[in-house]
Amino acid sequence: MSRALDLMSPETRANPYPLYAELRQAGIRPIEPGGMWAVSRYDDVVAVLKDSRRFSSEGLGQGFLPPWLPRNPVTQSLVMKDPPQHTRLRGRVSRAFGPAALAVLEPRIRAIAEELAERLVRREGEVDFMAEFSLQLPVRVLGLLFGLEPAQYPRLKEWADDLVSLPAGRHPPEEQARLRESLASLERCFEGLIEARRAALGDDLVSELIRPDADGSVLSHDELISFLFSLLPAGVETTVYLLANTMVVLSEHPEERARVLADRGLIPRLIEEVLRYEPSGHSSLRLVTEDTELSGVRLPRGAMVVVLLASALRDERQFPQADRFLLDREKPSHLAFGHGIHYCLGALLARLEARLGLEALFSRLQDFSRTGSELQWSPSLIARGPLALPLRLTPA
């Protein structure tokens, strides 16, 4: 393995799993971009994610604030804090994503999913599942949560894409200028939302976050902005790609596709195996806070670690037949939504959206198949899914 290994090469972005397998054999080692240390084995990934003292989330900010970007509120958000700041902030916002809150949301999400599914199956010929369903469902749900006007919904995916593109580190000057304006416009949008909710509270997420806690504590204005910045890519990218990746995987596994279309009770199991086999979240970043050793490799203080979640989920030591998609796999304790104190706050919401979306769609389908040429995948280091997904649907 003397050649340069690059997570952002076109070959790797098209199919990262051969490189992940190679890295698991080699152990922890430097990798491009930026000479980061790649952590690819399941046990090593868990060790890093559990140890916020030696592997700091505050180091994430380095990847999301390149020198040409003057400001990015996401660098001060919950996902980039260590205890005790993280503990206080997570406790303050977690109730908005708990089972009670989602039970209230479920009928509204189901109605959106049913509307989108009905419209999709009425289309004749080829449809782009990404543009017409996979994107629309989480964007409309997040717009509902934020209390945005529907005219603003289309911008949410653009803003989310721009945020997750930053750690790639390869942006020509004209793209840098566009990204600076994009993030500034997103902040103006959230500033307007907060100002409007302070004037008149509603039943949306922003209003819930503004309300004082039981002990009278409140989030500061900067904490509100930073949390909304971090929620956007998590709320959009995760579910967009979870839905799309599910359809990609099923298109490649006809027997499993037939089983799920015939028995929608299998959908929760399907979602869990897709989250393992082709997860939407592929990596996270951590900063080494002191000279330390991990699996026999010395990591110097200040080193950036790229935690390859998707590689860990294909680790042969953890998952029998790890490279096979098995609908009947025993429910694994997997890492698709992270691990430890930074386990994704929105995991329940993502699973709920995916389940309701697939139930609405599969109840109207007899079959479906992919059309067109080879898929083009997202260029992000953080999230993975197709940029477009042409399908031909056979209505039930």
| Contact (Cβ atoms closer than 8 angstroms) between residue 385 and residue 377 | yes
Distance CA(335)–CA(309), nearest Å, equals: 6
How many structural domains comprise the chain?
1
Nearest C-alpha neighbor of 246 from the set 166, 154, 353: 353
Closest to 230 in 3D by CA, of 298, 152, 284: 284
- Count of CB atoms within 10 A of residue 124's CB? 7
Packing angle, helices 85-93 and 221-251, rounded to 10 = 70
| Contact indicator for 306, 381 with CB cutoff of 8 Å | yes
- Residue 173's domain comprises 10-375+386-395
**Edge-first strand listing for the sheet containing 126-128:** 126-128, 390-395, 365-370
**Burial status of residue 114 (CB atoms within 10 A of its CB: 0-12, 13-18, 19 or more):** middle
Residue 381 lies in a domain: no
As a whole number of angstroms, the distance between CA 4 and CA 35 comes to 10
φ/ψ of 285, rounded to 5, equals: -120, 150
DSSP code per residue over 182-196: HHHHHHHHHHHHHHH
What does the alpha-carbon distance between residue 222 and residue 324 come to, in Å, rounded to a whole number? 45
Mark out the alpha helices in the chain (DSSP H runs).
Answer: 10-14, 17-26, 42-50, 60-64, 85-93, 99-121, 129, 136-146, 153-165, 173-199, 205-210, 221-251, 254-262, 267-277, 309-312, 347-362
Whether residue 254 is preceded by a cis peptide bond, meaning omega within 30 degrees of 0, is no
Sorted by sequence, the CB contacts under 8 Å of residue 89 that are 6+ apart come out as: 78, 81, 219, 223, 227
Among 214, 218, 278, CA closest to 243: 278
Place of tokens 């694994």: 332
User: Tokens 């909710």 identify what position?
Assistant: 197
CATH number, domain at 149?
1.10.630.10
- pTM here is 0.90
Does residue 350 lie in a domain region? yes
User: pLDDT truncated to tens, each residue of the chain (396 aa)?
Assistant: 545 688 888 889 899 999 999 999 999 999 988 788 999 999 999 999 999 899 988 766 767 888 888 888 888 887 777 777 777 777 777 777 778 888 888 999 999 999 999 999 998 889 999 999 999 999 999 998 888 888 888 888 889 888 878 876 678 899 899 999 999 999 999 999 999 999 998 888 888 888 887 777 788 889 899 889 888 888 888 899 999 999 999 999 999 999 999 999 999 999 999 999 999 989 988 999 999 999 999 999 999 999 999 999 999 999 999 999 999 998 667 788 888 777 787 888 899 999 999 999 999 999 999 997 789 998 888 889 999 999 999 999
Task: Give Cα 394 distance to the centre of its chain.
Answer: 30
Q: Residue 360 domain-assigned?
A: yes
Three-state DSSP state, 393: strand
Rounded Cα distance, 74 and 223, in Å: 10
Q: Is residue 4 part of a domain?
A: no
What number of other Cβ atoms are within 10 A of residue 387's Cβ?
14
Helix, coil or strand: residue 206: helix
